[in-house]
Structure 1
Amino acid sequence: MADKQISLPAKLINGGIAGLIGVTCVFPIDLAKTRLQNQQNGARLYTSMSDCLIKTIRSEGYFGMYRGAAVNLTLVTPEKAIKLAANDFFRHHFSKDGKLTLFKEMLAGCGAGTCQVIVTTPMEMLKIQLQDAGRIEITTPLFCFLLNAMNSKSAQRKLMPETVAAGTVETKSPTAMQLTRELLREKGIAGLYKGLGATLLRDVPFSIIYFPLFANLNNLGKRGVEGPAPFYVSFISGCLAGSTAAVAVNPVDVIKTRLQSLNRGSTEDTYSGVTDCIRKILRNEGPSAFLKGAYCRALVIAPLFGIAQVIYFLGVGELILSFLPKKDN
């Protein structure tokens, strides 16, 4: 049974490295997804993912596509490490003679999705504010830009609260640390966990769909009964399973993104909770609004999890740990 034991530190390292590489590759698409999901009928700025990225580069430069990347790259390591390692942990303990029923595969995915929200919720909360800042600045009414261009700052301070809803105008984009301090000062730790319920509603079903689907697709490409699947099979399986799960839970992702967005344009709706958000979206934008950013999310998740699974199954963590001195018992 010794060969069936899993190394949790190695799995954590694998998940962390996989997350870093994956996020770096797909972050601009994730930014487009956030901005498309957040724009409402009265303040449409982008018509598609490519339109969003082109306008972002024109108005904010190339690095504008990486707004919020520092937060994601910092927190994606523990997030992916927890998610992938927790799934392996639960699968290992639920299995009998190395075999799992579909129900237990789904249960393991459920456990992984539940564990990851500890890190996912504050990461998404901060990332969304930074990603959406450019859209809020651009959708601010024209006269506010004229005021910003005026030298009379006293007049600007006097007129701004009367013409634009509080918090919608930023003369300078906040940093992640500024947002964190502000949220902690005003709302405590609960401020960083705004949208926790919606995050659970998204990540738990995602993991329930993703992990069993990936495992079964990956098994189809295995060499023999015990042999591992080639890396390209793991990549394709990760892409297919990731995009399927991403589209399936996209309606909840729209709700989560809306709830976690603190800054809004003066004509945009605000929401008090999940049910209020669902009701207002259905009333004002129709059912199709729940599919906003679906193809962007599929384009983000597919390569993200494809890359993640390749790195994960290459066993980079095990290789790193093999160079460390072992303690003799």
Structure 2
Amino acid sequence: MSTWPRLFPTLHCDSERPSSLTASALKTVRTAVSVPENELKRWKRIFEANSKVVNGEKFLDQESFVNAIAPKDEFTKIGRAQFGILFRVADTSRRGLVSWEDFVVFETVLKRPDADYWMAFQYFDADHSGYIDYDEFRSTMSANIGPESIPFDFDCDWVKLYLGKKNGTHVLGYNEFTQLMKGLQGERLRQAFAYLDADQDGFIKPDQFKRIILEIAGHKLSDAVIERLPTLCTLSPGQRISYSEVNAFYNVIKEMDMVERILREATAKSKDGRIDQNDFMNHAASHSRYSLFTPMEASIIFHFAGRGVPGQRLALLDFAQLLDPRWKLPHSQYEQYEEQASPAAKTSSIANRFLSSTYSFVQGGIAGAFGATIVYPIDMGELLLSSACMAMQNQRSTVVGQMLYKNSIDCAKKILRNEGFLGFYRGLGPQLIGVAPEKAIKLTVNDLIRGKAMDPETGRIKLGWELFAGGAAGGCQVVFTNPLEIVKIRLQVQGEAAKLEGAAPKGAVHIIRQLGIVGLYRGASACLLRDIPFSAIYFPVYSHLKSDVFQEGYNGKQLSFLETLSAAAIAGMPAAYLTTPADVVKTRLQVEAKQGQTHYKGLRDAFVKIYREEGFRALFKGGPARIIRSSPQFGFTLLGYETLKKALPYPWEEKPPSQVATALTSRPDDLSRIRARNALKILLDVHGDVGRRAAAFGKPLSLSNPKLT
């Protein structure tokens, strides 16, 4: 009997053979589980890329089927050959070939939320009856337990509770089977311990414990944890391991997803990004209705994460070796690797780091130009207020005591009326020319200092270092900012004055010649007073918005386009407004004062005179306009920078040998491949070598060939 009617009762096929699936039936398969057209096309590309032609038709054999469904992650603990057992599920006709229609059904089944258990059920249901009896359960399971493995007693009371007596008076439907599979590992653990505890004193040897774990959960643990499994005996006196400890370790493995969730949340809330065993227990107790983990289970978690050293405060990275079976090389070994490097290798490393910083500098320049280009045309109101801000900040009492502008809108109207639309673009040329190195050096210096000050294990940086990194970045940018802004400001301000006085405006080259090198840095102290606090406020706020508000990195979360833009733009608001007084003073110092206007001798003199003559509010003139101008510009600049870093990372970034991604990073495989892997993990709970023996013999398991001996 074909499995198709059981999988999709609404299908109408020409026969029970899957190969005869009609176009209308294929459409029914897709619509029954909402398969989008683009996903079907993706499946078709995968099938076409791996299929082979047999008798004029395209099919997947077992090898090409594995290539089509197995995750690309080369570090997985599951062998690629083991995915061949899923071929038995897809090949419902038992032809040794999977057609396009078979492949569609297999991928469609993978879309089920319970695909992992459903695949396991299909694997055990050898006769396709829709039920599993005692003989099927025993034959399928025995096929994956070799003579060298710890034996399993199929006549135990646990099996009888599910399947009745030996002759089989009870069969399991799908829902009952899922419960059996969920408890199977626990029963195997109990039987394995009893089998190895020959003298029945309640203890086994460390190497026996390792043997048990390798059979039932070896695919879930990294090589480092597996090598140190015997050290579990050090948690209690006697150098032996009790059943309680074995069961506690099994519970940790079974609840690994919850362990990771608690670790992530607890370390995220910790001030230093590290937690101890008490912190773990307290967080687990406060976020669950009942106690999830016993003190013994918590001790086991910290024993393996802390490499056997008790009482440590550990970072999330320390737990990676327990959380991720692909984990290879700890950070401490990376440092040792660097220390032992030859002088030539170290010189090469320094050169590589210089190139990396140069690469970041170029990316920052591109991002800065992108931000400036986007902001100018995106909203005319922002452009008006950008020029209005400069003009308002330079506004001062005239000889007759009259004010040239009443507010930002009045300023914008007068500029538009007197100079036209192009008046708001005065100074844009120098800004576009110089914005690239300005933003590049700011972003590069901030990243460089943060990288050096950051704790490599927690990824945390102290607030003091955050402020210093931002402030240093702002200070460095003044080298480019001051000359550009003094030219831009004079171009912007002289336009309005030239109209009123009937004079022709001067060009940027004339202004540069007039000022000279020293003159280009007039008002640099005010520029430093503005840019250092601006960056010291901006970068820490931006970082904490990403991590604390938008939860970047939590459970591997990557920020969306809108979230990154929002964080970058919002961070610019307080930074822009709070540094407005310094910007006002800088503008006054850099603008050429006309006859009858107040002249300023320096930074302190400007602050005092502005306050005395115009009041405190004058120091915040143009503040809202500055927010409207700066916030989106920095938003798009940081968005461009973050996007470039992700899309085009430095190609020669130094990494230690064999270092792999940890559980802290997301895997690139699509959901169907992940579900295929999870389906196989359910079967691996039967035995860690499931599928390997079949692959070694070169033929699939079946009821007629159960043991492959």
The structure with the greater share of residues assigned to helix is 1
The 3 A distance-change label for structure 1 pair 251 and 93 is same
Instruction: Give me the whole-angstrom Cα distance separating, in 1, the residues matched to 2:606 and 2:499.
Output: 24
CA contact under 8 A between 1:214 and 1:237: conserved in structure 2?
yes
**Mapping 1:40-59, distance limit 5 Å:** 40-42=396-398, 43-59=402-418
What is the aligned counterpart of 1:94 among 453, 460, 472?
453
What is the aligned counterpart of 1:17 among 366, 369, 391?
366
- Residue 394 of structure 2 is aligned to residue 35 of structure 1: no
Higher alpha-carbon Rg: 2
Aligned twin of 1:270: 599
| Pairwise CA distance, 1:174 | 1.4
Instruction: Give me the whole-angstrom Cα distance separating, in 2, the residues matched to 1:174 and 1:294.
Output: 28
Instruction: Give me the whole-angstrom Cα distance separating, in 2, the residues matched to 1:179 and 1:41.
Output: 25
| Pairwise CA distance, 1:46 | 2.3
User: What do the CA deviations read for 1:272-307 (whole angstroms, capped 9, x no partner)?
Assistant: 101111111111101110010000101111101111
CA contact under 8 A between 2:419 and 2:496: conserved in structure 1?
no
Number of aligned positions between the proteins: 286
The 3 A distance-change label for structure 1 pair 317 and 31 is farther
| Pairwise CA distance, 1:65 | 0.7
Structure 2 residue identity aligned to 1:103: G
The 3 A distance-change label for structure 1 pair 178 and 238 is same
Aligned twin of 1:119: 480
- Gaps spanning 5+ residues in structure 2: where? 1-330, 335-352, 377-382, 652-709
The 3 A distance-change label for structure 1 pair 320 and 131 is farther
- Residue 464 of structure 2 is aligned to residue 103 of structure 1: yes
| Pairwise CA distance, 1:316 | 6.4
Aligned twin of 1:167: none
CA contact under 8 A between 2:363 and 2:641: conserved in structure 1?
yes
Please identify, of 115-124 and 47-56, the stretch whose mean Cα deviation from structure 2 is larger. Answer: 47-56
| Pairwise CA distance, 1:116 | 0.6
- Residue 507 of structure 2 is aligned to residue 175 of structure 1: yes
**Mapping 1:223-262, distance limit 5 Å:** 223-262=553-592
**Mapping 1:129-208, distance limit 5 Å:** 129-140=490-501, 145=502, 171-184=503-516, 189-208=517-536
**Mapping 1:297-308, distance limit 5 Å:** 297-308=626-637
Aligned twin of 1:7: 356
CA contact under 8 A between 2:419 and 2:495: conserved in structure 1?
yes
CA contact under 8 A between 2:419 and 2:499: conserved in structure 1?
no
| Pairwise CA distance, 1:58 | 2.0
- Residue 652 of structure 2 is aligned to residue 296 of structure 1: no
CA contact under 8 A between 1:139 and 1:265: conserved in structure 2?
no
The residue matched to 1:64 in structure 2 has which SS?
helix
Instruction: Give me the whole-angstrom Cα distance separating, in 2, the residues matched to 1:18 and 1:47.
Output: 36
- Residue 539 of structure 2 is aligned to residue 211 of structure 1: yes
The RMSD of aligned alpha carbons is 2.2
Aligned twin of 1:153: none
Q: Looking at both structures, which has the greater relative contact order when contacts are Cα pairs under 8 Å and sequence separation is at least 6? A: 1
What is the aligned counterpart of 1:62 among 421, 440, 464?
421
The residue matched to 2:359 in structure 1 has which SS?
helix
User: What do the CA deviations read for 1:113-145 (whole angstroms, capped 9, x no partner)?
Assistant: 1111110111111111101112322454xxxx4
CA contact under 8 A between 2:561 and 2:639: conserved in structure 1?
yes
- Gaps spanning 5+ residues in structure 1: where? 146-170, 323-329
CA contact under 8 A between 1:10 and 1:317: conserved in structure 2?
no
User: What do the CA deviations read for 1:14-53 (whole angstroms, capped 9, x no partner)?
Assistant: 3222222322324543211100110113352222323222
What is the aligned counterpart of 1:79 among 432, 438, 441?
438
Percent identical across equivalent pairs?
Answer: 37
Structure 2 residue identity aligned to 1:101: K
Instruction: Give me the whole-angstrom Cα distance separating, in 1, the residues matched to 2:522 and 2:556.
Output: 44
Please identify, of 215-224 and 70-79, the stretch whose mean Cα deviation from structure 2 is larger. Answer: 215-224
The 3 A distance-change label for structure 1 pair 266 and 317 is farther
CA contact under 8 A between 2:491 and 2:506: conserved in structure 1?
yes
Structure 2 residue identity aligned to 1:135: E
CA contact under 8 A between 2:498 and 2:504: conserved in structure 1?
no
Instruction: Give me the whole-angstrom Cα distance separating, in 2, the residues matched to 1:95 and 1:274.
Output: 35
The residue matched to 2:554 in structure 1 has which SS?
coil
CA contact under 8 A between 2:393 and 2:587: conserved in structure 1?
yes
Structure 1 residue identity aligned to 2:477: Q
TM-score for both structures, normalised by structure 2: 0.39
| Pairwise CA distance, 1:317 | 8.9
Structure 1 residue identity aligned to 2:365: G
